């Protein structure tokens, strides 16, 4: 077997030529690898951005239903206050058979959490990360207030079927009514803040929602836009402190 000995370089010119070939080859390979990595990161970045935007679009669209229902919520609260005023004055009132409730939206955060846990949100710019974070922080505050509001409306629904109210019951329901008004105002404020920050990241709140019809089954609270059904008015003092 013939063994070829490496040929010695013939001067510095030949050495530099070989050296430049090696350096250019290495740099070209590194540049190509960096380009492929950058393209991959850009794709992940775009996917994360669009995924989170889609989730926020559903949230903002769903919450928009609550904004459109605001007049109904205010009317329902006014009707409850009028009932309590009549009961406190000793006048007759028709005990409601149903009391509606506001729309409570489910706030989705799964995509944002998954993108954050997977490190994809780190591919976004710092400004984008802050912008998306502001929207989700506002939605988190809103979700907590919805939970508080749900408990208050459950207390107000305790008026259903009552033909007379003791002073203590009237006072308790007035406190619940006041809390319901305060929470409604805070939720409306939070909704506007969430919509404002959502617009900053390109979310319009125009998602197509597949909403199932409102249930009319017994025991299910109706929508606030349906006026509360009332039974036959009771006398000034009523017949009992319980349900008929």
CB 195 within 8 A of CB 60: yes
For the ranges 55-59, 93-97, 193-197, 222-226, the lowest mean pLDDT is seen at: 222-226
Q: Would residue 119 be called left, alpha or beta, if left means φ above 0 and alpha means ψ between -120 and 50 degrees?
A: left
* Residue 200: alpha-carbon gap to chain centroid: 16
Phi, psi of 229 (to 5 degrees): -75, 140
* Residue 46: alpha-carbon gap to chain centroid: 22
The predicted model scores a pTM of 0.72
**DSSP 8-state secondary structure symbol assigned to residue 223:** B
What's the token pair of residue 167? 């002073």
Residue spans of the domains in the chain: they are 12-200
Query: pLDDT per residue over 189-225, tens digit each?
Result: 999 999 999 999 999 988 888 776 655 444 445 555 6
Q: Which long-range contacts (CB under 8 A, 24 or more apart) does 18-27 make?
A: none
Sign of dihedral through CA atoms 19, 25, 26, 28? positive
Query: pLDDT per residue over 133-172, tens digit each?
Result: 999 999 999 999 999 999 999 999 999 988 888 999 999 9
186: confidence class by pLDDT, cuts 50, 70, 90: very high
| C-alpha distance from residue 198 to each of 47, 72, 130, 150 (Å) | 18, 26, 12, 25
């Amino acid at each position: 077997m013939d063994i070829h000995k490496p040929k010695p370089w013939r001067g510095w010119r030949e050495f530099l030529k070989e050296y430049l070939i090696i350096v250019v080859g290495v740099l070209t390979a590194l540049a190509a690898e960096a380009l492929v990595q950058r393209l991959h990161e850009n794709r992940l970045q775009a996917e994360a951005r669009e995924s989170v935007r889609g989730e926020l679009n559903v949230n903002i669209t769903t919450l928009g239903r609550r904004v459109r229902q605001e007049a109904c919520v205010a009317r329902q609260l006014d009707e409850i206050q009028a009932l309590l005023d009549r009961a406190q004055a000793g006048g007759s009132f028709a005990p409601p058979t149903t009391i509606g409730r506001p729309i409570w939206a489910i706030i989705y955060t799964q995509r944002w959490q998954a993108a954050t846990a997977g490190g994809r949100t780190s591919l976004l710019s710092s400004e984008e990360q802050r912008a998306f974070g502001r929207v989700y922080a506002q939605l988190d505050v809103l979700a907590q207030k919805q939970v508080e509001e749900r408990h208050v409306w459950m207390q107000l629904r305790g008026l259903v079927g009552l033909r007379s109210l003791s002073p203590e019951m009237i006072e308790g329901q007035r406190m619940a009514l006041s809390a319901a008004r305060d929470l409604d105002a805070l939720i409306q404020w939070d909704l506007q803040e969430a919509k404002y920050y959502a617009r900053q990241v390109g979310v319009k709140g125009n998602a197509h929602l597949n909403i199932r019809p409102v249930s009319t089954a017994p025991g299910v609270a109706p929508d606030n836009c349906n006026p509360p059904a009332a039974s036959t008015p009771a006398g000034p003092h009523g017949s009992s402190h319980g349900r008929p």
